[in-house]
């Protein structure tokens, strides 16, 4: 692979996405900006391996050809030499991920400052008004434990307020946590027990994929998930003696991989 097209919400994200596909650090590439993006348009770049390092990447490409992929895109480990090369690429990517994490921390701190000026309201009043605006008759139960305060919403025909894989629910929960009075406990919103059902579903998926990895000796790559869902799978498999997990990529396309433990630790 000599060049790839990167797309993102801004130029920096488009470049990061392209670098991930190329598995190359920024100093080894040439970048051509196709589109800077805008309100309704994605940024687009072409990132290619620089001439002075092409030979190094051609050698890497030859080594990668010795790997076999099945219909699920699962890569079979062929030799210790390939393993070392793969780990080297992963280390380079991990450095890039740390930079991205630092940038994310800066953005989160900025959001915290903005949130300090927001007028806080009662979460129940906010949720009641929100659902009423959609003509939804609901009841709200407040459940509190040592770490969280959960507002469980129940009613008829409110499934649409959950959204695809909980996207709408998580947005409502995030907004409620901002508007709620500040406390040491985390504020969450749940609709018809969706969170518990999703945890059970992801835990079942984690165990199923872990069994497949342990049986085949091949790693699997799961589809992109948000941080909360990735954490559920990490926790579900943290004590599994046969597999280990690793998050890769950048938000919102960050995904999780499950490896045979001996492969990751070798």
What pLDDT digit, counting tens, does each position of 4-26 carry? 888 888 888 888 888 888 888 88
At residue 174, the pLDDT reads 87
Please give the mean pLDDT across all residues of the chain.
82
Q: In this model, does residue 256 exceed pLDDT 70?
A: yes
Residues near 75 by beta carbon (within 8 Å), at least 6 away in sequence: 67, 68, 69, 218, 219
Query: pLDDT tens-digit profile of 69-124?
Result: 444 444 554 555 556 666 776 777 788 878 888 888 888 777 776 656 556 688 89
- Predicted pLDDT of residue 158: 92
Q: What is the pLDDT of residues 150-171, one digit of tens each?
A: 999 999 889 889 988 788 998 8
Share of the chain above pLDDT 70, in %: 82
Element (H, E) at 65: none
pLDDT value of position 83: 60
Q: Report the CATH fold assignment for 123-192.
A: GMP Synthetase; Chain A, domain 3 (3.30.300)
Backbone region of residue 12 per phi and psi (left: phi > 0; alpha: psi in -120 to 50; beta: other values) = alpha
Helical packing angle, 54-64 and 80-115, nearest 10°? 110
Identify the three-state secondary structure at position 205: helix
- Sequence spans of domains, the chain: 1-62, 123-192
Q: Taking the CB of residue 256, how many other CB atoms lie within 10 A of it?
A: 24
Residue 238 has pLDDT above 70, yes or no: yes
Assign 218 to helix, strand or coil. Answer: coil
Reference 149, options 181, 118, 125, 171; nearest CA is 181
Q: Are 138 and 153 in contact (CB under 8 A)?
A: yes
Residue 220: which residues within 8 A CB-CB, separation 6 or more? 72, 74, 209, 212, 213, 257, 258
């Amino acid at each position: 692979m000599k060049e790839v097209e990167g797309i993102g919400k801004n130029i920096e994200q488009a470049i990061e996405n392209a670098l991930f596909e190329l598995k190359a650090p920024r100093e080894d590439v040439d970048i051509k900006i196709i589109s800077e993006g805008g309100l309704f348009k994605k940024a687009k770049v072409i990132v290619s391996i620089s001439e002075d390092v092409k030979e190094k990447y051609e050698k890497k490409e030859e080594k990668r050809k010795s790997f076999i992929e099945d219909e699920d895109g699962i890569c079979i480990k062929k030799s210790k030499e390939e393993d070392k090369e793969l780990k080297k690429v992963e280390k380079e990517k991990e450095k890039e991920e740390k930079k991205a994490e630092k940038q994310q921390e800066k953005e989160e701190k900025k959001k915290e400052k903005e949130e300090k000026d927001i007028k806080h309201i009662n979460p129940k009043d906010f949720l009641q008004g929100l659902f009423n605006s959609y003509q939804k008759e609901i009841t709200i139960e407040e459940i509190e434990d040592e770490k969280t305060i959960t507002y469980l919403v129940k009613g008829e025909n409110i499934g649409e307020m959950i959204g695809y894989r909980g996207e709408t629910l998580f947005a409502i929960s995030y907004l409620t946590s901002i508007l709620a009075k500040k406390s040491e406990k985390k504020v969450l919103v749940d609709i018809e027990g969706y969170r518990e059902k999703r945890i059970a579903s992801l835990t079942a998926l984690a165990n199923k994929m872990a069994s497949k990895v342990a049986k085949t000796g091949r790693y699997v790559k799961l589809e992109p998930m948000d941080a909360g869902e990735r954490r559920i799978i990490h926790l579900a498999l943290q004590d599994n003696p046969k597999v280990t997990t690793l998050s890769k990529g950048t938000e919102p396309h960050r995904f999780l991989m499950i490896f045979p433990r001996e492969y990751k630790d070798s």
